[in-house]
Amino acid sequence: MKPAGVVRKVDQLGRIVLPKSLRKRYLMNEGDPVEIFVQGDHIILERYRPKCVFCGSMAEVSEFKERYVCGVCLEEMAVLQQ
Ligand SMILES: [Zn+2]
């Protein structure tokens, strides 16, 4: 992990403004969901990518009843129907 060369202050509501250059570089636009991870003493921000509720895969994920399911798990569930 390397520093981005930017220091920002947290405001009264806990918000931090991400520099435009970083938002552009990491394709973060207004309204995009961002997921927050913690690792030791670090807080990590990533663009949110839906994961399969069953296996955690991010490949070929479809939304079904407000949950995300990958193609492999959908196929496995289809076999159960037979
Ligand atoms: Zn899955």
Task: Write down all domains in the chain, each with its CATH number in brackets.
Answer: 1-48 (2.10.260.10), 50-82 (no CATH)
Residues less than 5 Å from ion ligand 1, measured at CB: 52, 54-55, 57, 70, 73
| Ligand 1 center to 15 CA (angstroms) | 34
Res. 36: pLDDT tops 90: yes
Percent of the chain with pLDDT over 90: 80
| Ligand 1 center to 9 CA (angstroms) | 39
| Ligand 1 center to 7 CA (angstroms) | 39
Alpha-carbon gap, residue 41 to 22, rounded angstroms: 21
Taking every pair of Cα atoms in the chain, the longest distance, rounded to a whole number of angstroms, is: 58
| Ligand 1 center to 43 CA (angstroms) | 27
Res. 3: pLDDT tops 90: no
The arithmetic mean of pLDDT across residues 68-80, rounded, is 94
The arithmetic mean of pLDDT across residues 47-67, rounded, is 93
Q: The tokens of 56 are what?
A: 């955690």
